[in-house]
Amino acid sequence: MRPSDDELLALDRRHLWRPYTSSEDHESRPLFIVDRAEGPWLIGPGGRRILDASGSWWCNNLGHGHPRLRRALSRQAEQLMHVTFGGATHEPAVRLASELVAVAPRGLTRVFFSDNGSTSVEVALKIAFQYWQQNGRTERDLFLTLPGGYHGDTLGAMSVGAVDEFSAVFRPLLFEAARPDEPVEHDWEPVFDTLLARLRKEGDRIAGVVVEPIVQGAAGMRVYSPTLLTTLREEANRADTFLIADEVFTGFGRTGPMWASDHAGIAPDLLCTAKGLSGGVLPFAATLATERIYEGFRGGKERALMHGHTFFGNPLGAAVAREVLAIYREERILQQAEPKAAKLAEAIDDMAALPGVHHPRALGMCAAFDVGETGYMGKIGWEISDAALELGAHLRPLGNTIYVVPPLNIGDDDLDELLHIVRKATERVLGKDW
């Protein structure tokens, strides 16, 4: 028998350790219990329904409990749940790799699987580094990145990330990466000027340039112009170094096209994908690479990529990811999302009329605005989140940045309701109820 709600919450507070949460907050902040979920709805005790505005940490692109994903998972579970990829292979992973290549930016023909967004970035970094080490360019040992980047919480991913709140305490453990010093608020030109100047000057030392294409998620949903990414691609070519696109958040149509790189009409040399790859259902990730890079690992055992995970390409994740791709094709997810994205952009734009709301921005099914002074430690965002929970939506702010990343296939009525709650909660906290 399931413990009572109170017992469950007491056990949670007694034994769990929440991500990004102090012990005090873990023991005191409100929590809601989720018993099941469907579409954008999280459903708790007594049938209470809450809209999931954070897409369950940005991965739930097709809504909760998509019937086709449920069926794909149980079909695969009946047949083969897991087998090592060392010396064996199976249909779901093989077919997924070829289907991923078919939708990837041009030239990305090789797929290396792992378990989550952070590992997909670790793999990209290790591939780039080892490539140069064993192909006569040992001096290429420095990664170049953007200020404000976030690439995950493992040590390599943190080294190329730059959100201090996540990584400052670990700095002694991290390797050095180069990045412009300019603080980024919303003016990206000077930042890219410095980045490109460094690439021109020191291109011979650069193992790879790592970026979140077009939208920096954890830094506060900060958006930069596609032309800046196009120029970066050109400069990386000129320096003959690798462009590594971390599409963990932006991939699978979150910003409109399949990949945020598509806004700039570019193809990276390495692309990291996770989150939406499995429709947010299972931990599953991939790093895609070009044939040139793959060829750099030919020539004997000692030149093999020294990386692997127990659950590499696991059949359950691969079968679900294949079904995700089929749903995108057959349910025309990207096309269907276009009018929803327009509605989202309009509603977020309208928020600018509220005193205290700054920088409304939207791209595809990703929208955000800032309240009060910006910053990850800001408190107003959390007050708005608490107000939204009372009104029926789960917002998870980035400090004083409020964002909405609903499923790409959210129903129009549900989207209207979600936007209404976001506005009401913001008005309530900023002190104006009209």
Ligand X SMILES: Cc1ncc(COP(=O)(O)O)c(C=O)c1O
Q: Does 150 engage in binding with ligand X (CB under 6 A)?
A: yes
Nearest CB to ligand X, comparing residues 124 and 387: 124
Q: How many CA atoms lie within 13 A of 260 on its CB side?
A: 31
Strands 177-178 and 142-145: parallel
Nearest CB to ligand X, comparing residues 177 and 357: 177
Instruction: Please report how the helices 315-330 and 333-350 are oriented relative to each other, as an axis angle in degrees rounded to 10.
Output: 80
Beta carbon of residue 59, minimum distance to ligand X (angstroms, whole number): 8
- 150 a catalytic residue: yes
Among 66, 151, 222, 254, binds ligand X (CB under 6 A): 151
Phi, psi at 39, each rounded to 5° = 55, -130
Beta partners for residue 210, in sequence order: 145, 244
Q: Does 121 engage in binding with ligand X (CB under 6 A)?
A: yes
Other CB atoms within 10 A of residue 98 CB: 10
Q: H or E segment at 361?
A: strand 357-362
Among 116, 241, 374, 401, binds ligand X (CB under 6 A): 116
Nearest CB to ligand X, comparing residues 50 and 272: 272
Select the span of 89-97, 135-143, 149-157, 186-194 touching ligand X (CB under 6 A): 149-157
Nearest CB to ligand X, comparing residues 73 and 248: 248
Nearest CB to ligand X, comparing residues 97 and 271: 271
- 246 a catalytic residue: yes
Among 54, 56, 76, 118, binds ligand X (CB under 6 A): 118
Among 248, 264, 267, 320, binds ligand X (CB under 6 A): 248
Stretch 175-214: interaction string toward ligand X, x if CB under 6 A: -------------------------------------x--
State the catalytic residue, choosing from 150, 328, 376, 403: 150
Distance between CA atoms of residues 219 and 240, nearest Å: 29
State the catalytic residue, choosing from 52, 115, 246, 370: 246
**What are the residue ranges of helices labelled H in 265-399?**
291-295, 315-330, 333-350, 380-391
Select the span of 196-204, 229-237, 242-250, 257-265 touching ligand X (CB under 6 A): 242-250
State the catalytic residue, choosing from 275, 340, 370, 424: 275
CB-based contact 431:359 (threshold 8 Å): no
Q: Does 427 engage in binding with ligand X (CB under 6 A)?
A: no
Nearest CB to ligand X, comparing residues 122 and 427: 122
Nearest CB to ligand X, comparing residues 199 and 245: 245
Beta carbon of residue 339, minimum distance to ligand X (angstroms, whole number): 26
Q: Which stretches does DSSP call E strand in 166-315?
A: 177-178, 206-211, 215-216, 222-223, 242-246, 270-273, 285-290
Q: Is 173 helix (H, G, I), strand (E, B) or coil?
A: helix
Among 249, 297, 328, 382, binds ligand X (CB under 6 A): 249
Per rule CB under 6 A, count of chain residues that contact ligand X: 15
**What are the residue ranges of helices labelled H in 29-176?**
55-58, 67-79, 91-103, 117-133, 155-160, 164-167
The structure tokens listed for 196 are 């490109």
Beta carbon of residue 413, minimum distance to ligand X (angstroms, whole number): 29
User: How far, in whole angstroms, is CA 355 from its chain's centroid?
Assistant: 30
The structure tokens listed for 336 are 């269907």
Distance between CA atoms of residues 411 and 62, nearest Å: 11
- 20 a catalytic residue: yes
Catalytic center residues? 20, 150, 246, 275
Q: Which residues bind ligand X (CB under 6 A)?
A: 58, 116-118, 121, 150-152, 212, 217-218, 246, 248-249, 274
